[in-house]
Amino acid sequence: MNITKVVSLNEAEELSASFMSPAARAYVCGAAGDEITMRANSEEWRRIRLNPRILVDASEIDTRTQIFGQTLDWPVLLAPAAINRLWHPQGEMAVTHGANQGGVTTVASTYATESIGNICRAAKHPVWFQLYTRPEREFNRELVSLAETAGCKAIVITVDTPVIGIRNREARAYFRMPPNFTLPNIKMGPEVHRRSPWKAFGLLPNPKLTWKEVEWICSIAKVPVLLKGVINPDDALRAIDTGAAGIIVSNHGSRNLDTLPPTAEALPRVAEKLEGKLPLLVDGGIRRGTDIIKALALGAKAVLIGRPYLHGLAIGGAKGVARVLEILRNEFEAAMALTGRMSISEIDRSVIWPDRLTQDLALTPKSRATEV
């Protein structure tokens, strides 16, 4: 199909259904339990209202931002997603070429069906590496070293997955790792295709991952380390002592534990707790350019998208990924212009219409109970 006819990320999701198998669709579209949090992730961004400034010169808009000394053309990254060849024969390489066209950083998954070296060589923008740990320190050390040698500019430790969530859609579709796939960044055992697609890898889950192990990984890494999967503000505060360089506020795309708060609700609470001590990123339910500007206003330095670019990948490979990013960037630039913010530094809490958000943040649990 002509990918340029896709005009929104929601439309890309609808159209992608005919380009993937039922099992692949269950994997990308499904979430934990009754999928309450998955719906809430996007609904909460839509609930927040914007507060525009008018009569501002909107002839030049600067979307550039910096994090860890790296310049991003605009504040969007591609979230880590496993086994990209489920959606296109070129898998991660198509994603990388699409990211090149879209001007964004890719966070490559431990479970990539392409080597991190090949991804980094093909990328025109910084690549980060998402780390799923094993209990064995030597394995974790080797993966960190592999990513750093390949040229990755940051390590992203997934910290919210001691066990796999209850994913009913995947179970109904009998999702399994296709027998012709390999994961070049890790060693796969001989039972990988006959057992659970995750437990066979020996990587997930790692119930032994603790703060102490995160601190050790931060101590050996030569690049910034971020913790992905932080929702609780107290956990965010504790992360400072580990040596972590940043936090990704995330509920794992709602794939692990249902009825967690949506990330749009968690983000301002984490930001309030940290008071700028660590840079924050956020993912979960980002589907519009207006969602991006809201996330930045609530304390994020950048956002990550996952499912949307996989839908684009299924529809059109690299061109599909690039089209999803083009749509989102056009929407984001329009949102900046129409709210009267010409640069990223001008996006602050004043972009948010103050009524409900301000009241929510101001109410303590005791005062909420009193008001009710």
Q: Tell me the two tokens of residue 149.
A: 């040698």
Q: Residue 347 class from Cβ within 10 Å (0-12 exposed, 13-18 middle, 19+ buried)?
A: buried
CA pair distance 94, 91, nearest whole angstrom:
6
What is the residue-wise DSSP string for 174-202?
T----TT---TTSPPPTTTTTS-TTGGGT
Catalytic residue ranges: 252
Q: Tell me the two tokens of residue 20.
A: 């993937």
> Please, what's the largest Cα pairwise distance for the chain?
65
CA pair distance 50, 353, nearest whole angstrom:
5
What is the residue-wise DSSP string for 192-236?
TTTS-TTGGGT-S--TT--HHHHHHHHHH-SS-EEEEEE-SHHHH
CA pair distance 272, 32, nearest whole angstrom:
28
Least Cα distance to 291 among 281, 280, 303 occurs for: 303
Task: Please count the other Cβ atoms lying within 10 Å of the Cβ belonging to residue 85.
Answer: 20
H/E stretch holding 131: strand 127-131
CA pair distance 238, 233, nearest whole angstrom:
9
Q: Tell me the two tokens of residue 209.
A: 């991952």
